[in-house]
Amino acid sequence: MSDGVILAAKDLTKEFKGFFAVEGVNLQVRRGQIHALIGPNGAGKTTCFNLLTKFLPPTRGSITYKGEDITSMSPADIARLGLVRSFQISAVFPHLTAMENVRIALQRKRGDSFDFWRSQKVLSEFNDEARSLLNDVGLSEFENTNASDLSYGRKRALEIATTLALNPEMLLLDEPMAGMAQEDIERISALIKRISANRTILMVEHNLSVVASLSDTITVLARGKVLAEGNYATVSKDERVIEAYIGA
Ligand code: ADP
């Protein structure tokens, strides 16, 4: 493992019946960075993300996290190592309040199963921690609002809060801005920036202005392979990248 690399993929490959959706991808995510995975439609971003988060087994290649080979580990096991995919383990319950949702996530972190009938008394142990997490994601004034009544952007913020409840060292975000209005994009961008202060983030994101403003490093995929890598200024000037986007 080279210095500062927290997550590394080597020769990552996924074949679907003779079609290589991802082929020979080498990726190194450095600790503390916001790293974006971009590329035109069909480039292999989702497949790559699903391989890294263990939702799909690779045809070939390996993945290491903090130097440990996680290629054959389950998503739950890698979450215990501190690598968490948002919107995965921490589902949001629509008919519970924002506060209740975060408290359940905190309870899960402790390893308890959640029993609805055990109710408020157990969950109230987590009140202070839950309030602090809601504050972190800008939802303090919505603690008693049902998740189903939150705006789309605030629901995503709540999902991020329930993920943060697991205290991840590295977060994998799948299109955090998908379907959002501009106001929500700004709010979630600021939130990602804030939570990246003491975490590593890898995200797949379509919105290039968000990618430009947030990312330290960008990996551009096209036709299942890494086309370019670097900061936004570098990759956005790369002829092959421009061509891949225009030709897509
Ligand atoms: P992106 O997220 O960059 O748009 P995807 O990873 O979704 O790209 O898809 C990359 C390619 O792999 C596409 O051509 C897609 O049709 C193909 N693909 C993805 N998943 C499957 C699958 N389960 N079976 C067959 N082909 C797939």
Task: Name the residue of 12, 16, 59 whose CB sits within 8 Å of the most ligand 1 atoms, as the mutation to test its pocket.
Answer: 16
Query: Could you report the per-residue pLDDT of 15-26, keeping only the tens digit for each?
Result: 999 999 999 999
Q: How many angstroms separate the alpha carbon of residue 113 from the centre of ligand 1?
A: 35
More confident residue, 188 or 68: 68
Closest ligand 1 atom to the C-alpha of 50?
Answer: 6
Helix (H, G, I), strand (E, B) or coil at 191: helix
- pTM for this entry: 0.89
Q: How many angstroms separate the alpha carbon of residue 43 from the centre of ligand 1?
A: 8
Would you state the structure tokens that stand for residue 214, as one six-digit string? 């947030």
Residue ranges covered by each domain of the chain: 1-87+169-248, 90-165
DSSP 56-77: S--SEEEEEETTEE-TT--HHH
- Select from 64, 55, 49 the least CA-distant residue to 7: 64
Burial 33-60 (b: 16+ CB within 10 A, else e): bbbbbbbbeebbbbbbbbbbbbebebee
Q: Please give the CATH number for the structural domain made up of 1-87+169-248.
A: 3.40.50.300
Q: How many angstroms separate the alpha carbon of residue 45 from the centre of ligand 1?
A: 8
What is the per-residue pLDDT for 16? 97
How many other C-beta atoms lie within 10 A of the C-beta of residue 17? 4
Q: How many angstroms separate the alpha carbon of residue 179 from the centre of ligand 1?
A: 20
216 has pLDDT over 60: yes
More confident residue, 181 or 31: 31
Q: Evaluate whether ipTM surpasses 0.90.
A: yes
* Mean pLDDT lowest among 119-128, 154-163, 174-183: 119-128
**Protein residue with its CA nearest to atom 13 in ligand 1:** 42
As a whole number, mean pLDDT of residues 169-183 equals 88
